[in-house]
């Protein structure tokens, strides 16, 4: 088979068409869309406008999804967004991204960041009327968000998230639930939650504890910070330099009149006025993570949290086993299609080579004879 014949063979056209199809599929945009069951996002996908997610339990994000400012994502009852790749949802101060329910009588699921994904961001987002944000063995950056009227605001499980400059209020349980998570929690407003402001659970001695500094924590129905159910605690949670709603500091095991704190919490050096209320007291824009060896008492560093626990307070309930166990990732149909095409192409290429060598051999024999 000659080179010219190979170039115009039907299999070559099949390979070219397959490649073009995959390129077109690799970048998709959803605008003003109604999404049905088992939506799967591909390599790069952009959401904008009004997105209604219905007839599905989860939205799987295998690779990368970008949500544009001003987008409204409406989710039906028990529908969740499970992020195993990268979710970039960066709104603007006056044009936020909204995650809410599709029907006022429905309660949607949550935004699940699962497995060690990097680069996920929620910034200037509103998350409401669901089960909140859940991070399991992941490290998204959550900043400048309004997280309200959910079952829990943010739940952390073995996660090292940066949580800063958010408002967490009017959630049914905790504003933040930390379990085995070395998270940085700074410059947030955490108030009027029906349970604890922050719940921490420790089960084994750990070096990695959360840093909870420079937050406004007040008027929560339960504790401001509760780590009372923790066991085998060798060190206290660093919760210094917080505003507890009163000039004389927190109550509970402390002697002040602000929100309560439990044992296993270092509440010393509290702030005597609300953080960020005055122009001269503007929260910092950037937080630098330093190692514990440099300064074990320095606030705003991520070396101090491991296990978070079930709250032991009034009104607070925690659902620790609600993460949906997902099956292992199955390759998308496009990947299977590409693999099949390559196998077929390799098979025919091998045959072409054999045929070509045989033709040359026959030609040489005919010349000799």
User: Residue 232 contacts by C-beta under 8 Å, 6 or more apart in sequence?
Assistant: 202, 203, 204, 205
Of 47, 91, 92, 45, nearest to 73 (Cα)?
A: 47
What's CA 236's distance to the chain center, in Å? Answer: 27
| Sequence-ordered list of residues with C-beta below 8 angstroms from that of 78, at least 6 positions apart, any chain | 57, 107, 108, 109
Q: What is the DSSP letter of 282?
A: P
Residue 347: DSSP 8-state = H
Q: Is the dihedral of CA 123, 78, 62, 210 positive or negative?
A: positive
Each residue's pLDDT expressed in tens, for the chain with a length of 369 residues: 554 554 555 666 565 665 555 544 544 556 666 655 455 555 678 999 999 988 655 666 678 899 999 999 999 998 999 998 889 999 999 999 999 999 888 899 999 998 776 789 999 999 999 999 999 999 999 999 999 999 999 999 989 899 999 999 999 999 999 987 889 999 999 999 999 999 988 766 666 789 999 999 999 999 999 987 665 556 788 999 999 999 999 999 999 999 999 988 999 999 999 998 765 544 444 433 333 333 333 333 323 222 223 233 333 333 333 333 333 333 344 455 566 666 676 666 666 554 555 555 455 555 554
> Rounded distance, CA 5 to CA 311, Å?
74
pLDDT score, position 277: 79
- Partners of residue 100 on adjacent β-strands: 74
With 0-12 CB in 10 A as exposed, 13-18 as middle and 19+ as buried, what is 61? buried
Where residue 89 sits, what CATH number does that domain have? 2.160.20
pLDDT of residue 212: 96
Residue 307 lies inside a defined structural domain of this protein: no
Residue 174 falls within a domain, yes or no?
yes
Does residue 116 fall inside a structural domain? yes
Here the tokens at position 96 are 């936020």
Instruction: Scan for tokens 């010219």, then name that residue.
Output: 4
Say what the pTM is: 0.69
Which pLDDT score is estimated for 310?
28
Collapsing DSSP states into helix, strand and coil, what is residue 15? helix
Residues spanned by the domain of 167: 43-266
Residue 107 lies in a domain: yes
**Residue that has been written with the tokens 């440099």 in this structure:** 294
What is the number of domains present in the chain?
Answer: 1
Q: Would residue 294 count as lying in a domain?
A: no
pLDDT for the residue 31:
67
318 in a domain, yes or no? no
Q: Looking at the domain assignment, is residue 345 inside a domain?
A: no
Chain-centre distance for alpha carbon 84: 9
Give 1's contacts (C-beta < 8 A, 6+ positions apart). 9, 352, 355, 356, 359
DSSP state, residue 76? -
Helix (H, G, I), strand (E, B) or coil at 46: strand
Contacts of 351 (CB under 8 A, 6+ apart): none
In a domain, 221, yes or no: yes
Length of the chain: 369
- The per-residue DSSP string of 291-336 comes to -TTT-TT-SS-S--B-------STT-----S-PPPPPPPPPPHHHH
The H-assigned helical ranges of the chain are: 3-7, 10-25, 333-368
């Amino acid at each position: 088979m000659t080179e010219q014949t190979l170039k115009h063979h039907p299999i070559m056209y099949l390979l070219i068409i397959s490649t073009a199809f995959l390129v077109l599929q690799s970048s998709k945009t959803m605008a003003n869309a109604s999404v049905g069951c088992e939506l799967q996002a591909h390599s790069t996908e952009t959401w904008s406008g009004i997105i209604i997610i219905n007839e599905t339990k989860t939205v799987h994000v295998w690779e990368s999804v970008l949500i544009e400012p001003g987008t409204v994502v409406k989710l039906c009852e028990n529908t969740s967004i499970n992020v195993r790749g990268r979710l970039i949802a960066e709104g603007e101060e006056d044009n936020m991204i909204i995650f809410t329910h599709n029907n006022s009588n429905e309660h949607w699921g949550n935004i699940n960041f699962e497995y060690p994904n990097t680069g996920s961001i929620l910034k200037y987002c509103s998350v409401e009327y669901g089960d909140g944000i859940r991070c399991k063995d992941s490290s998204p950056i959550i900043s400048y968000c309004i997280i309200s009227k959910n079952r829990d605001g943010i739940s952390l499980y073995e996660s090292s998230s940066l949580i800063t400059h958010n408002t967490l209020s009017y959630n049914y349980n905790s504003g933040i639930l930390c379990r085995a998570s070395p998270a940085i929690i700074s410059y947030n407003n955490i108030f009027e939650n029906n349970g604890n402001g922050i719940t921490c659970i420790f089960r084994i001695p750990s070096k990695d504890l959360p840093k909870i500094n420079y937050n406004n924590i007040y008027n929560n129905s339960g504790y401001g910070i509760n780590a009372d159910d923790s066991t085998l605690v060798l060190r206290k949670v660093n919760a210094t330099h917080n505003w507890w709603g009163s000039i004389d500091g927190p109550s509970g095991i402390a002697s002040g009149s602000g929100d309560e704190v439990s044992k296993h919490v270092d509440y010393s050096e509290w702030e005597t006025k609300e953080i960020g209320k005055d122009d001269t007291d503007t929260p910092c824009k950037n937080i630098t993570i330093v190692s514990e060896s440099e300064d074990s008492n320095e606030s705003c560093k991520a070396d101090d949290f491991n296990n978070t626990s079930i709250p032991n307070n009034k009104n607070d309930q925690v659902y620790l086993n609600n993460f949906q166990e997902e099956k292992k990732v199955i390759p998308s149909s496009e990947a299977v299609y590409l693999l099949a095409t390559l196998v077929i192409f390799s098979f025919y290429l091998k045959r072409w080579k054999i045929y070509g060598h045989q033709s040359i051999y026959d030609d040489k024999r005919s010349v000799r004879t």
